[in-house]
Structure 1
């Protein structure tokens, strides 16, 4: 539509220029007469049509942007983030109910960029909270909300910042049942830039469960994390983007989803007949009915609540490793590297079983997702990899093969980490969530592809760190207190963690990781992991974690 708008305006300027341009020295108002003969009657009619078209498209764009409210400029979003923290920062000091089990019925309508869903949510309420605070994503229409089977209305609602509060009538119950009936839809233009609204697309939908269900209590993702921007809005400077190691509330939170325990659940999800759904958990069955495809997935063993849902046109490829079924779902046009994905996945699962004793599930699905997403996601029984991360790359050179091996294996190793290590939501969390599986994957690359492949990947990580650290908006912390910077844990953290693996040996490192995990049943932090390993490390190796 914007191209039409520009086209109409540009065409109008060209024809108007021809109409009013005069040869010779004629001047005055007569040179601007519409009766000038430089433009034919047909040209003048075309000029009128173009002007009307420009005005019509301009009104349409204004209605789409302002009337339907489908756009938000970054400055507005930053202002809302600052306002949210100022108004609701006090909620950080409260203990809130947490997700415990979710039964979800979810229907995608890609042609309308719409989802309709009902969720029955079981919350743990171990601290007898009397108020349930819900933070919603944009464009969600909550049609009905019930607590313990009774429809309720909010006692407080902030429509601008999309937070509401509900009174819990019997707050002494340790379990709270909430049912949400809602829909989400994007109407009008597709937003581009940093937020293309990827959770509901015509083709290739993919989004977090929190794009549809509420965040409980205080939404940490809505804080401004850059100190320069915080200063602009009168917010105090952050000493860290994550809670300190002695924060008792943060220590009780899960790093993957602070408002949830590890959850179980069941998902019945549908989409149009020519698309395939993306969902977490064990695939149970699927069927077609009235032009739609339905599937059921189950999460039987408690897992972090980092679920993702999606719908896209896929072709499936099947493989198997040590009794684990591998399904690769890719764009039908991107079948080039499916075989190397199969190969790398098979070997990565074998590597995990050898070093950790077992793989956490009997099936795993690997999805290709559109390029406008983050590069990688790992969630129960599933991995999602952006189309630009190797699906159609040329793999003749070792560099490309090493990259696919390292990136895919790190996501598969995350399956084991997420299923076995409960990580506290404090400084250093991403060293366990991100750097640890990345480092183990480097060891896997060395084993399978050799020293040259390992050196390629180490150089790539060192180069990325050297480049990206220059964009750090805050002061870079030491690895021991890493605070979820986009570049720190994935690059520098992974390289230093690999040095530990190399120093101790892969077999011994994995055994120590298992033993440490058994010793610390809750509130596991990266600091207590490194302290556990410290007697086995050289002083100079340990110092790399403590010094900036």
Structure 2
């Protein structure tokens, strides 16, 4: 009903938000809040605007405008109100909108406030917004059909009319001026994005005034808690971690993640735009995630501060370090460059941030350790696509689908950097950032970024762009047999029998083994009647041979690792190495998206033979 009644106002011209001066009074003892803001809006269209459309909170809220107006429609079921001006807002004119809001009283049965006793985290989604929003529309195709709604994609195509007019985070705004005053009880610290300008006590409460010295997205938050604070400084950037005093287990890991991230991103991308970076803990009752606001990163205790990564038997990814690197990367990928509200938007934020964190992990742990992180991403993507309810999209057309933009996106971008070389690939990213940082409409789209990658990709590797970004392409690579034998000169001959199968998947998961021209490869294994199928192959795939694991470092010795051109389903590789081999594999680091990555490697068995080996 929301869509049926209100979507007709979706294209009604509205003034854009250009500045926010806000306050948030947090009362931890009673778990209440009072808040408000002054919105500065400007008519940036070329037509007069006679009506303001406001989405208001479902709580006591008072709104005032500095232009005389009447409420002509109030859709209380949807908290949507229309103010008609007595005198239309002309192009270039400014409108001041003020509001105050507070939670309904909490009861034993009803929790009407996001405030908690210790560790409050509230973002600006609780505030009024301008214009019709399609975020509440039903997305599931079958449910839309049930309620007589026209079929609709989750996001518009990158080249659809108007698709690049708005970014996917800020609503009816571009980059805004921001100031906030946050108050809390005397035993807590209150935080908002920006720099602390003033701090004082009044009537037994603490007040903090924050102001940002540059424009930011319309995306901010308020936090309050009884915190200990770890402080440091790195290359002129002040670093702070606010944490529950009992939760100091991973604070050093997080501080290291901030420093390592700043080093990598400043060296390879554009300069960090702030003088400060801070992490603030919030309780897991508020969610198991972290979220990046300008120079401010709320971080759940569940995935960072109390994560157990010290257990010797725990082979998990170092999440406090890696998530810190990911969230810091958002200061570039979202808070410098923000994608249009179109298909592929999150490739330019989530995928690039996750790729960035992988490169920081690689720098900290070495390339030899990356298999653990890449396999984790691979398994997450494969699991996610099995529970997709609408349709799977190629990466550059993903519709804010987490398993695609996080797991697949990080894997694809890491693989492309590996194939093209870090220097060449990061140069593409840097140029893209320089081209779009802090820019408004028309906002960048993923197809433009992919075209930039394509422009520096040699002809022999152009298939990677098609496979990784433009289509849903998977492999079924596996080791069929792997042996070694010692040679008279003390070297070792490794014989690897490996299968390579590549196929496409449609949006519903059906496998396709033929290309557009209808060509495919077939191979019938000896003793079998059923032939194996694959897309035509001219792929460069890594083949590796590995030695013993070093007891001190826990890192396996790489005896051989090269990308070899593969044109057949069944492949035999003879490789000579200088030391005794233990394991061999096809795509051994899981850089390609493989339906079953567990069979890419195999322990080697010794083959006794007196024959002379051919190199």
- Is the TM-score greater than 0.5? yes
Question: Which digits, 9 at most, give the CA deviation of each residue in 1:475-500, with x for residues without a partner?
Answer: 11111211111322111122111112
SS in 1 for 2:162: helix
Counterparts of residues 422-461 of structure 1 (less than 5 Å):
422-461=338-377
Change (3 A) 1:337 1:374: closer
Provide structure 1 residue ranges, at least 5 long, that are not aligned to the other structure: 1-82
Change (3 A) 1:249 1:184: farther
Q: Does 1:143 align with 2:77?
A: no
Distance in 1 (CA, whole Å) between partners of 2:262 and 2:334 is 15
The answer to whether the 8 Å contact 1:190/1:197 transfers is no
Partner of 1:66: none
- Residue among 5, 8, 18 paired with 1:100: 18
Question: Which digits, 9 at most, give the CA deviation of each residue in 1:234-257, with x for residues without a partner?
Answer: 32333x211221233231101221
Counterparts of residues 40-59 of structure 1 (less than 5 Å):
none
Change (3 A) 1:96 1:246: farther
Partner of 1:226: 140
Q: Does 1:335 align with 2:248?
A: yes
Q: Which moved more, 1:445-454 or 1:172-181?
A: 172-181
Q: Does 1:376 align with 2:290?
A: yes
Partner of 1:156: 73
Partner of 1:134: 54
Counterparts of residues 149-548 of structure 1 (less than 5 Å):
152-168=69-85, 169-189=87-107, 199-211=114-126, 213-238=127-152, 240-371=153-284, 372-396=286-310, 397=312, 399-400=315-316, 402-519=318-435, 522-537=442-457, 538-543=461-466, 544-548=468-472
Determine which structure has the larger helix proportion and give its number.
1
Q: Which moved more, 1:301-310 or 1:451-460?
A: 451-460
Distance in 1 (CA, whole Å) between partners of 2:359 and 2:167 is 27
Aligned-residue offset at 1:190: 7.3
SS in 2 for 1:137: coil
Distance in 1 (CA, whole Å) between partners of 2:161 and 2:42 is 18
Question: Which digits, 9 at most, give the CA deviation of each residue in 1:184-209, with x for residues without a partner?
Answer: 214345789xxx87733333322221
Determine which structure has the larger strand proportion and give its number.
2
Counterparts of residues 29-40 of structure 1 (less than 5 Å):
none
Question: Which digits, 9 at most, give the CA deviation of each residue in 1:435-470, with x for residues without a partner?
Answer: 011012111110111235422221111111122222
Change (3 A) 1:206 1:516: same
Aligned-residue offset at 1:506: 2.8
Question: Which digits, 9 at most, give the CA deviation of each residue in 1:394-419, with x for residues without a partner?
Answer: 23258456322221101101112233
Question: Which digits, 9 at most, give the CA deviation of each residue in 1:77-104, with x for residues without a partner?
Answer: xxxxxx1111111222233222110111
Change (3 A) 1:336 1:542: same
Q: How many equivalent residue pairs? A: 458
Change (3 A) 1:416 1:125: same
TM-score by structure 1 length?
0.79
TM-score by structure 2 length?
0.71
Higher relative contact order (CA 8 A, sep 6+): 1
The answer to whether the 8 Å contact 1:198/1:373 transfers is no
The answer to whether the 8 Å contact 2:278/2:296 transfers is yes
Aligned-residue offset at 1:366: 0.4
Provide structure 2 residue ranges, at least 5 long, that are not aligned to the other structure: 473-615
